[in-house]
Amino acid sequence: MSAVATLTAFSASAFTSNGTAAVINPALVPAPAPVAEKAAPKSPKAPEPETYQERIDRIAQSPRSLLAPLQENQGKATVCVSGEFTSLSVVYDSLFESLLPSLPPQLRQNAYAARDAAHRDMKRLNVSTLAISDNPMALGADSADPSMTYRGPVSQWIVTQLLKIRDGQENEAIPLGNITLTQAVETVWLYLFVTVVAPVKLAVQLTPFLGSPLTGTALDSYRGYFTYNTILQLAVQGGVLGSQYLYQGISNMVMNQCVARVTEDQREQAGRPSDDVTYHIDIPAAVRAAAGQLALADNDNCRQIGTLPLSRIVTRTGEYAQQLVTTDAQKQKIASETNAILAKMRATQVPHNLIPADPADFTQLESFASLVGSLIPYVGGAPLDITIGLKHNLDQGDNPFETVSVADLTVTKSLTAAYYSYYLSLYLFTTVGGLAEGQILGSPTVGFLSPTRAIGAVAALPLTYGLVNYHNVIRSMCLSEDDTTGTGRGAQVNRDNAVLPSASTTTPTVARPGRPSSSAPSSAPRRGASSPTSTPAPVIPGLPIRIPGIN
């Protein structure tokens, strides 16, 4: 409970004006990030994204922290850090000290006792590392890497856990007080999404007919197009979008600002697992084998799986199957079948640019059009999204008549084709089924639950929370063998090799303009996870996606 209270208080302090003088530095409230527009042909190239090292160096030079410095740190060497290195214990203590002066004198002694009890609980309570999500930037990615572009709360959690399993960290337990603010934000959003957002969205689709405000009015003929169900859906979608923007704002703030000034020991404790408590969690062999072949995708040194051709996946699958058999005859048969499949794939040509762009690649304007269009009967949904996706391809200069062999078709293109095929099938089922219901059953009465609508809502779950999350995961990860650094860790090597800025007893007066270098005296490199020593077996090849009209 103390952790929840700490995070709630931190969020309230960051987004309200009450109590900000003691806790929040107004100068550090981030300005709205400009929306990136498609550059004209002669526009200058966009600046390179800030690297992991540049980000922690810049934050270390911040003159003020978001949270008030701890009294126990006065006179000690401290350094400015983001939420990645700020533990919940530090957040709790800073908020406690900021709020203490506002308490009546007679309550202050009890407050100290409550703080001591909270610290004991935070040290005593441990959480499995597999229950905690994390921001890809805290793992070593930069803002332009695939793991930051293609992520939802569930897929981000899956990526984080696969990396922990690969590094043999699945049995670790983290004391509640050592959980970082970044981990807390990402984990709270994960469980909020799974336990509240997703169920509420499904419940709206399964809500019986509630009637229409147009009934009995001059617009009575349009009552079937604007109902109380429509209003309810608008309210829920608005609430979901609002919560997503709130989460994104908090997540970006704690990753890119100086949240607290901490000592090097406090920084070391942030995210550190318990030395005494471990769990015994059995990981299926197939999951462990797959995790052993994966790394966090990086635009510079590890190509995401989504860009790989299908021929690469088929070849790897064939090689894996050969390792499962014992005789040469069986291996030869598998090799022959693999070659036959590859030959057919190379002989089959497809117009790959006629596969619409994935909704995750839509621009903000295209996503808005998709959302608004979902409210228009018969037009919104799959047909509109397909149209938007095709226009997206044309706008980026893709030739709609260009063909490639199925062997050269990328994993992302094939999964996007599967997505739209399923999506269009659901659209046709719900649209045609709804029209048939009207002909057979007549106009719906209040309390009527459309069987077609209910079936469509349930049938959309594997698409919305299955295929979409799987697609996000493979676009966020790469094969460790493709890592050009030779470490097999992808973007995580940026964190492993980072040199943490040294703590100082003096506070910078102004932040350095531009991108600071890491030439200042620094502490030892950040403690990274050790690479697995055994040779892993070959692997088998939010923004949450909406299903307009269904979702």
Residue listed under structure tokens 């670790």: 172
Compute the distance between CA of residue 291 and CA of residue 222 in angstroms, rounded to an integer: 54
Flag the least confident range among 295-309, 347-361, 428-442: 428-442
pLDDT at 540: 35
Question: CB–CB of 110/96 below 8 Å?
Answer: no
DSSP label at residue 477: E
Residue listed under structure tokens 């603010």: 181
- Residues 293-345 have pLDDT tens digits of 999 999 999 999 999 999 999 999 999 999 989 999 999 999 999 999 999 99
- Residues 212-252 have pLDDT tens digits of 888 878 887 777 778 888 889 889 988 998 999 999 999 99
Asked if pLDDT for residue 12 goes beyond 60, the answer is no
Asked if pLDDT for residue 61 goes beyond 70, the answer is yes
Asked if pLDDT for residue 366 goes beyond 90, the answer is yes
pLDDT at 6: 52
* The token pair that represents 486 in the structure block: 């030779």
Ranges of H-type helices in 37-104: 52-60, 88-99
Reported as a pLDDT band with limits 50, 70 and 90, residue 503 is confident
Compute the distance between CA of residue 75 and CA of residue 98 in angstroms, rounded to an integer: 19
Over pLDDT 70: what percentage of the chain? 83
Asked if pLDDT for residue 27 goes beyond 50, the answer is no
Average the pLDDT over 129-133 and give the result: 97
pLDDT at 31: 36
Compute the distance between CA of residue 202 and CA of residue 448 in angstroms, rounded to an integer: 17
Question: CB–CB of 46/87 below 8 Å?
Answer: no
The Cα-based distances of 25 to 17, 21, 28, 511 in angstroms read: 11, 7, 6, 15
Flag the least confident range among 83-92, 248-257, 372-381, 489-498: 372-381
Quote the mean pLDDT of the chain: 85
Question: CB–CB of 83/254 below 8 Å?
Answer: yes
pLDDT at 121: 94
Asked if pLDDT for residue 544 goes beyond 60, the answer is no
- In this prediction the pTM is 0.82
Residue listed under structure tokens 């022959």: 336
